[in-house]
Chains A and B, each alone.
Chain A
Amino acid sequence: MKPSPSRLLATLGASLLACAAHAAEVQVAVAANFTAPIKEIAAGFEKDSGHKVVAAFGPTGGLYTQVKNGAPFEVFLAADDTTPARLESEGEAVAGSRFTYAIGKLVLWSATAGRVDDKGEVLKRNAFRHLSIGNPKTTPYGLAATQVLDRLGLADAVKPKLVEGTNITQAYQFVASGNAELGFVALSQVYRDGRISGGSAWIVPAGLYEPIRQDAVLLARGKGNPAAVALVEYLKGPKAAAVIKAYGYGL
């Protein structure tokens, strides 16, 4: 039988479509602080689903601006809950697709072992020169830190000792380099395999600050992409949850 050109084309097209359905690609925008966990989660997801994850990392505000200006992202994992809500209200995201994928935990940390006790008494003793926090205006962890200090009634006492990092990474670097003895940082920054990886820390009780919700949302571009939908579902599942907890986030 002689293959006619039209039949050849039809076969080719069908196989391409089948391929696309089986192994689609999803473009994800991820808040920088979630870089390590998403890589691990994506590896599991790609193995289970056959889809491919292409992730871009950056500060939440920066990623937001990129989405607003036509960046080809289909799923957005933010470091806060306001940005996804804003995108949804602005029609950039699929309505009702928003969910909290992780809850950030605040920790009072020192690079020196034994300096921070497990009740945070070190704060009240005031025996330190610098307390590093994220900028409360621009970082959720910084805002949470000021809430903790307020609730403990220490806001005025430590105010002259506060040094602000412009983001939570910088707040961590201040402490890690020893320039600030103490700092409120993200637990995920100092937590590996279910425990504090170095120095000493007090995991701040959740009641002392408003929850730091990190919300994800399916963006308008990802609406028809089965890989995007599948990733969102995977993030809600138990395999992702295990990874997220291991990195020091709550759920």
Chain B
Amino acid sequence: MSLSATDLSAIWLTLQLASLTTVLLLLIGTPVAWWLARTRSRMKGLIGAVVALPLVLPPTVIGFYLLVTMGPHGPVGQLTMAMGLGTLPFTFAGLVVGSVIYSLPFVVQPLQNAFEAIGDRPLEVAATLRAGPWDRFFTVALPLARPGFVTASILGFAHTVGEFGVVLMLGGNIPGRTRTVSVQIFDPVEAMEYAEAHWLAGGMLLFSFVVLLALYSSRRMRPGLG
């Protein structure tokens, strides 16, 4: 086995980051996706575009703006310092925030599609069966959107594991705190020491493949909503 202690610590850190990010993304993404799927507000286009921004912006650009906004002179930085939290860059919390923002569209969009696919009818039916708004959401909308949640979780998790532009920019490459697997791979590759990167890179390739395979096979097997 050619994984060093720093490799292992990077893997462990990456798993923590991706898991926490996915959980937070589901918590934040669900109401956002629900609102986007149901609203008739004119703000829908605007919010939808903001959510989709990370899809088109290069990660280093997002990373740079996050670095500035969360830095001691930025608005978010000022806020976190006023709350006694210090500033977020170079911390695990900072990586989580960056990853949540960067992976947001990968979670919101599948959820939004799933909610839109449900349509009004099942919710109206539930209302005529005495279910209040929250009740309808948890007993009808959530179960019917389950395939969307599976897709969103897998994409959110996998995307967080694979991204490094934001992590490089925000993290400062601190072992055990902000050095994730993709950064750990990036260093030797940049230094043209490919042999060193092979084990991790191969593992990551395998991981990504397995995740995507699971995703696409589950999609194929999913029964249609009747």
Contact = CB atoms under 8 A, between A and B. Distances in A.
Answer whether A and B touch in the complex at a CB cut-off of 8 Å.
Answer: yes
Interface of A: 61, 130, 132, 135, 137-138, 162-166, 170, 173-174, 177-180
The 10 A-B residue pairs with the shortest CB-CB distance in the complex, in nearest-first order = A163-B172, A164-B173, A177-B71, A178-B72, A179-B89, A138-B190, A179-B71, A137-B191, A166-B168, A178-B71
B190 A170 contact: no
Contact of A163 (B70, B72, B174): B174
A165 B173 CA distance: 7
Nearest to A139: B190
Interface string B173-213: 11000000000001110111000000000000000000000
User: Which of under 10, 10 to 19, 20 to 34, or 35 or more describes the interface residues of B?
Assistant: 20 to 34
A32 to B, nearest CB: 14
A89 B187 CA distance: 25
Given A130-B90, A132-B172, A135-B173, A166 B67 contact: no
Most buried by B among A138, A164, A170, A174: A164
Given A163-B172, A173-B67, A179 B87 contact: yes
A180 B171 CA distance: 12
A113 to B, nearest CB: 14
B52 interface: no
Contacts of B172: 130, 132, 162-165, 174, 180
Contacts of A170: 168-169
Contacts of B64: 173
A174 B169 CA distance: 8
B73 interface: yes
B190 A166 contact: yes
B154 interface: no
B104 to A, nearest CB: 22
Contacts of B71: 177-179
Nearest to B94: A179
Contacts of B68: 177
Given A61-B192, A130-B172, A166 B73 contact: no
Contacts of A179: 67, 70-72, 87, 89-90
B180 to A, nearest CB: 13
Contacts of A173: 64, 67, 169
B67 A137 contact: no
A61 B190 contact: yes
Interface string B53-87: 00000000000100110111110010000000001
A178 B70 CA distance: 10
Given A162-B174, A178-B73, A138 B187 contact: yes
A179 B73 CA distance: 9
A137 B186 CA distance: 11
Nearest to A86: B192
Nearest to A160: B174
A173 B168 CA distance: 12
Given A61-B192, A137-B191, 10 more contacts: A132-B172, A135-B173, A138-B191, A164-B172, A164-B174, A166-B168, A178-B72, A179-B67, A179-B71, A179-B90
A137 B173 contact: no
Contacts of B67: 173-174, 177, 179
Most buried by B among A130, A165, A177: A177
A170 B89 CA distance: 13
Nearest to B164: A166
Contacts of B90: 130, 163, 179-180
Contacts of A164: 172-174
